[in-house]
Amino acid sequence: MEIARSGNFNLSLRFKMHVKDPNDLAPFIDIMYFQEVTGAPAPGDPYLAGLTLFDIANRNCDWTVADIDAFAEVVASDRGQAWLRTQFDELSELIRTVKAPLPENLHGLFE
């Protein structure tokens, strides 16, 4: 969402070309891990796992089969699908309303 709010041209282009419904967001959704912090409330400090929802769905990770299946159940649940729909709607609106500037190297082609 942060990238979309900045009006990123590449994101706008990829979204318009490849995202037609909420499940198409899988390559755009980063998975976060949480590092436990002593004395701090759970879940702790977030950090990128280096995986996307697409990676998990395609078993392109080092998770156990049981963990992948459990995660897939959460994503497929009503709550998971509602969350995906919300992300899709918000991102669609940002892509529609925030104008992405053309990359500098393209300006000469249009002059």
For the segment 43-76, what is each residue's pLDDT rounded down to a tens digit?
Answer: 889 999 999 999 999 999 999 999 999 999 999 9
Instruction: Establish if 69 belongs to a structural domain.
Output: yes
Q: Which residue has the tokens 């701090």?
A: 40
103, pLDDT greater than 90: no
- Report how many domains make up the chain: 1
- Of 13, 33, 24, the C-alpha closest to 100 is 13
What is the 8-class DSSP label of residue 100? P
Instruction: Establish if 108 belongs to a structural domain.
Output: no
Instruction: Establish if 18 belongs to a structural domain.
Output: yes
Instruction: Establish if 111 belongs to a structural domain.
Output: no
Instruction: Establish if 110 belongs to a structural domain.
Output: no
- Of 49, 23, 16, the C-alpha closest to 35 is 49
Angle at 83 (CA atoms; ends 68, 99), nearest 5 degrees = 115
Expressed as residue numbers, the domain containing 51 is 2-103
Phi, psi torsion values for 42, nearest 5 degrees: -65, 150
Specify the pTM: 0.74
